[in-house]
Structure 1
Amino acid sequence: MKLRFMKSTPGQIMMGVALTSFIVLGIRNSNSSQMSLLPGLAKTETISTLPIPTPEYKYNNINMAFYDAEEGLIKQGAVLSEIFSSLGIGISTLHKLLEAGQDVFEVRSLRAGKKYKLLTEKTSQEPAYFIYEQDAINYYIFDLKDMSGIEKGQNPVDTVHRAFAGLIQSSLWNAFSDYEIESRQIPVLTSKMEDAMAWSVDFHHVQPGDQFKLIYDEYFVEGESVGIGEMKAAYFQTSGKDYYAFKYNNGTYDGYFSADGRPMKKAFLKAPVKFSRISSRYNLNRFHPILKRTKAHLGTDYAAPYNTEILATADGVIERIGRTRGNGNFIKIKHDKTYSTQYLHMNKFASNMKKGVHVKQGEVIGYVGSTGLATGPHVCYRFWKNGKQVDPLRQNLPEPEPMDPAMMPEFNLAKEALQKQLEAIDVEVPAQT
């Protein structure tokens, strides 16, 4: 279910342009009453005139009515010199533009699949502008007429504030699909929910009947959705417990906070992989599927497709990195004097990973695989406390410090406004297909 709260338009609003119509007056002689022409005034006839093109301003006020547009897509491996050559524009022109616009446009930012346009003057058929559309909002204008350089611009963007509520029947991802959210928006919304609440809610253990709500921005250009913006607030109810996350930025604090003003970001992420499922838990008496005997499983397995990103669950330093027969490719991170974590069966390591490297919470350290003694793609996540391997899902980790009490009144005002909006959203059962 989607609700529109309000619509704001920070983009440019084009002003109407008045067109002047010229009327040619036909003067004729009349049989009944002769008309005397004023001295020097010649007899004229009514003639038809060509209509003046209706202005259509785009790309930093270029009047598109005066240009023909040729569109194309950047092909894999293409470079600007090849594109300009195919359009009949000399390489010297490109070099001059790149030199003049070197502080604006980075040649290596060209991406396959992106759109470009060549604007040609309708009267002279001379190339006037080359436009590279970096995305639906941002673009670069290469001035082929004056050779003055490269200009960066943005399309006017409408921001629509959205509210959504859902009932989980299997997973958070599937819940968005159950309510017919656009497929391209599902991974973005799911990721934003996890980014805000992953330290408090274990999205790998959601249950049928769990509820969630969120308030977020959606961006539109010329009436078409071009992306999801910031998530303002989120709510999740599971096992009878309510969780809230409110986005707040006052210059001193910036992030998601709980209803009592504590940062949602905690020392450790709940899991090292997004969009995965637990395939095997910490178990001291597990029957090993390959060794065919009982062997303690001192980790938690998260099943995910090959090459899914594996994330460091907390800040730390890589203590060990390598490969063994059982572990396959693995990394062990020391977080402080108390805690360490280990990640097994990687397909490969992320670039620049080596012993002694500092990593940040959420940083990609490797990719899911099945190296070592593994029956399928997963990451075995191991957790050490004071040198002993423990079940990470049963640890009571320290809570972050709350917000400065002096700043709580301002936070509470912002929080209460968002909380009222969340409470106003009804949770409906998704239609059965």
Structure 2
Amino acid sequence: MERYNLPVGGIEVTIGRKETTKLDEVHAITSSSEVRAQFQQRQPSLLNPAQTPKNKIPHAKASTHQAKSKPPKPLKTRTFNYVLSRSLFVIAALAALGNIPVHSTVMLSDRSDLELGDEAQAAILRQAKHTEQLNLPTVTETYAGYEMEALPSANHGEWTFYPIVAGTSIEEVLAELNVTTHLAALMADPDNEKVLSNLQTGNKVFIQVSEETVKQIIYATGKRTAYIISLQDGKYLGRWDNEVFEEQHNRVAFTVHNPFHYEANKAGLPISITRQLSKVFKEDVDFRQIAIGDQVSVIFEDFFYQSERIFSQNILAAEFNHKGEAYQRIRFQLASGKTRYLRPDEETELKQVAFNRLPLKGAGRLSSGFGSRAHPVFRFRRMHAGTDFAAPYGTPIYATGDGTVQYVGRKGGYGKVIELSHGDGISTLYGHMSNYQKGLASGNSVKRGDVIGYVGSTGTSTGNHVHYEFKINGAPQDPMSVALPEKGVLSPVEMKNFKEHARNLTNQLIKLRETAAIERNVRREFGG
């Protein structure tokens, strides 16, 4: 049996072997004072063999077979080799255990039952007095990272998403959240202040709020890279991380057998994405008459933190197969910053009507149509070159299309009037106004939907209303039935980019549809 004693407080390793002929024990003694004292107590018996009972040291006898064999190596050499080999074995074992002493002293045992003669014992004593200093490596474990507690749970509280646009500041975000957390608390950490004071356009911010307190902030600069700020022990600590946050493009396909929202939820579609589907396909599908067997495929943005979904943002592409006809929509952001869901397979989808039909928004009623009529004041029939919309005094009047102000002022029976020029021979007129939009003058540019004036009853009028005319090359047209011109939604460069973008997403929709069909067939075959 071999025993290896390590420094005080270490681990004692005991290694057994089948048979011992010469040495029973080897001790690895360190500089520990306690172990040195134990050795000094045993040392006299080893230094004075005469004190050892004779019957404990039988003389070594060589057998006939040993006499015929090769002469054995000198005892000193064998002893040294044995000690050295065992010492190396101990070192390897201790290295594996991670508890290696800084230095060790290797000495022989003082057991009195060694089968050695006086000369052999003298040799052992000389060897014992020689101290071997072993230059062993010092093992130091280092831990990289931050001394932080476990991050707060992603499930405790409500997450809000803020896309970073030009001018977005963390102060504005906190004001919208209506929380008790102060900006100074977030900025107390210099690293936090550096990041939050320099939010870059195009990046994303996710904020977790619980009990009117900001618990965590994720400032995402990539699909996996984010700066994480978390509330720990009353302080907001931050660090960059590329493991706990992830932006994914999720893909879901399902077939309608039950109510639409039930099937969408069963397929794992977030409620926010289900609502978006209804808006994206509102012109293609009547959601009150969805048929059994209709198929839906959708690709959308999904954000995960600590492996938990914290937000689902935009539908990127979707396909709705309704009653055997497939409709596809692709999300595309224009250079103006506006986002539209366009059909990838129709050129006409890349254009839009350039005008609104009405100069009011939900506040007026048609009081007099286009064409010949009896004049309400003069009582004789005459051509009515526009349409009248009655509305309360002061109701805003909107430009029905992009254009330039051609005239602002009074014009006979029209009272206060504004005329706009829209190009291509098209002009519009708005009469009987109570007032004009402040600062509006001839030559100003206006956009479709801009407020240009307010409803009144100036000029030849019997009540508050707006008189609206639509002319092509000076000829009045019925505003309610004229074929409104279209204008391109995309510039030539945007058209090219959209086609490339749509081709990629359309291929993904096709693969998603095919995969869903295979899964349906497998379930049908195996009764799933």
In the superposition, the TM-score normalised over structure 2's length comes to 0.36
Going by fraction, where is helix more abundant, 1 or 2? 2
Which structure carries more relative contact order (alpha carbon 8 Å, separation 6+)? 1
